Chains A and B, each alone.
Chain A
Amino acid sequence: MTIEKKFNDDSLVLVLTGRLDTTTAPDLEKEIQDSTRGVKKLTLDFKNLEYISSAGLRVVLGAQKLMSKQGEMNLVNVSDAIKDIFEMTGFSEILNIE
């Protein structure tokens, strides 16, 4: 998985490409921890994300918890397959999916 960062003042967009699974989830977790200091708005762009597993969900949930303290978090360009996963795990209720 590759992570592309786009800063704009206090907002951050992370564009994820590839697979968010048990091997790649720690990379995203580290990236979020490192880059979100002072960030008010975090956007995760799933345009090129093929796949998310429960390890990925864990990181997304962690990010949501973090951002709800210091601002907000949005998910954009979520594919139907990944929406299904959010749906079945109840994540669609707690995430801002645009």
Chain B
Amino acid sequence: MSLKEWIKWDYSDISDPNYRNELKANRELGIILFLVCIVDIICIILGVADVFKIDKKTELYILVGLTAFFAFSGFLFTFLTKGRQKYVKFALLFDLVLIVFLSNLFVPTYSVLFLALPPVCAARYADKKISIYTSVTTAVLLIITGFVGYYTNIEYDWNIIRGLVGKIDQLTYWDYTRPLLTYSITIKFLIFCIFAFMSVLSAVRTKQFTTEATETIVKEERINGELNLARELQEQMLPRQFPAFPSINNFEIYADMVPAKEIGGDMYDFFLIDDQHLGIVAADVSGKGVPASLFMGMTKILIKNMLVEEKNMEVAIAKVNDMLVADNPIDLFVTAWVGVVDLNNGQLTYINAGHNPPLLKHNGEIHYLKDKSGIALGYVSKRMYKQNILMLSPNDRLFVYTDGVTEATNINGQLYGEVRLKDYLLAHMDDKDDVVVKELLNELNKFQKDCEQFDDITMISFTFLQKMNRKNAKKEFVATVNNFSSVSEFIEETLDSFEVPLKVINQMNIAVEEIFTNIAKYGFAGQTNGKATIDITLADNTVTIRTFDNSPMFNPFNKKDPDISLGVEDRPIGGLGILMVKKLMDAVDYQYENNTNIITLVKKVG
């Protein structure tokens, strides 16, 4: 490992910020020791060059060599342990104190600045105790070296020398110590105390500062985490499964929403209101951030529920508006385009509440649906929204979007705009819906290039392929076993008039017989006043028969299938009928709603 790499040691694997700081401090102390070593080497070079006017040169070399050795050892130690041991800091600080001690013992005048080094380095650990220990130890050694210096000094303090002039011959230890105390040790000690005080203070303050910073980071991380969760939730709320309705093939739909960096309030939705009505919604809540996204969630649920509940769209949207006004303390509003397509005949009913006009492809031309129905939702209560109606022809396309598309901005401040959008759709007229949406996203990305996306981008592309030609018949029967012949007659006549082949008619008949006799025998337990309604639908080359009865809740499909491999004697007869139903039909379903058993039998024709 090179020195450069070593200096760049990465501590990102350590999550505890205090420990991470300690390891970094170890590393830096190692570097300090290396620098001390260099100073020592310079000392030796200067000594050899005869710069120092010192008598005891040999002693100087020994001293400097020794400190250089200790300093280099400390550096090497850090290098080898990578600082990753709890005791490294003590070892390094002790090493440093030892070097200061030696220097002070022999060359107190030259090395006086060295005294500051241990407290300064200790402060780096941002630990009050370490600063105190290091400072006290250094102070004690300072005093010791002061007294022992009489025997060990290899250079002289001129203050002391002057004080000793004339007494050279009969010099006592006290003669030496008195000036030492007054001039040297006391002043050095007092100045050192300031360093020590500074070291402790600095350690405490640094610690405080890092703790506060860590808390702020933790807080920020939590808030960011929650925001990401909110964004994820917002995206999860939108239907993202495509193809969205694999069993229906007279229309295609594709949609996408690309959120801006900041969580926003865009949404789209599409859903089957019943067998033959598809709801399509695009909406944009004013403002950004969590309030907008919460309001968006509320809007989505309200619109869907209201459209399902209330057949009249004008009433439904007026109700949505009133509810949004009522629950809107901070004056948000939402522009929305809401459409319902009758899949049977292609009739599109829509309301535009202050939203961008969608585009309609019709007969090889594309134009904006500019009709306005009213202002944005959630603004003013008790308003009416006027619905518009038009008939979709096969292969008509509806493109609904939010202003994130037309207001995408390039580096010159230009908007993407309605003209470009229309041209784009003209150019991609024959593409599939998913291609139209995906390619437009690419084009918008290219258009925005280095500009940040400011607003959510939402788009829905819907293509009406053909009329569903849905046929339906419905009849109520007295639910008794003997009455099955009239049920059978109804099924045969109806399906025959729908031009369903005889084979399928027979299969439907067998299945309904099973369900109907079950209802009569077990549901109503032989009573003669039970009723069952049979609803037959042919749509999209699929026969769907539903039976509705209000006998006690019972799901016939829950029973385990009988073992059909047993011999004649052991062969059970129960459950065979339901097994036949399951095998004859392409899909079966059971629901219990409003005290009613609803059994659905589905069979593809041809």
Contact = CB atoms under 8 A, between A and B. Distances in A.
Contacts of B584: 88
B506 A50 contact: yes
Interface stretch (A3-11, A34-42, A53-61): A53-61
A77 interface: no
Given A53-B514, A85-B510, A23 B481 contact: yes
B577 A94 contact: no
Contacts of B580: 53-54, 85, 88-89
A40 B412 CA distance: 99
A30 B86 CA distance: 96
Secondary structure of the A side of the interface?
Answer: helix
A68 B503 contact: no
Nearest to A91: B564
Contacts, number: 66
Contact of A65 (B564, B569, B576, B577): B569
Nearest to A82: B506
A51 B510 contact: yes
A1 B510 CA distance: 16
Contacts of A51: 506, 509-510
Secondary structure of the B side of the interface?
Answer: helix
Contact of A23 (B484, B564, B579, B583): B484
Contacts of B484: 21-23
B488 interface: yes
Given A81-B503, A88-B583, A90-B564, A23 B482 contact: yes
Nearest to B514: A54
A90 B435 CA distance: 48
A89 B564 contact: yes
- Choose among A51, A54, A61, A81 the residue with the greatest number of B CB atoms under 10 Å from its CB: A54
A1 B395 CA distance: 50
Interface in B562-585: 564-565, 567-569, 571, 573, 576-577, 579-580, 583-584
Interface of A: 19, 21-23, 50-55, 57-58, 61, 64-65, 68, 81, 85, 88-91, 93-94
12 contacts: A21-B513, A22-B517, A50-B506, A51-B506, A53-B513, A53-B514, A54-B577, A55-B513, A55-B517, A90-B564, A90-B565, A91-B564
Closest 9 CB pairs of A and B: A90-B564, A54-B577, A88-B583, A53-B513, A58-B573, A22-B517, A94-B568, A53-B510, A54-B576
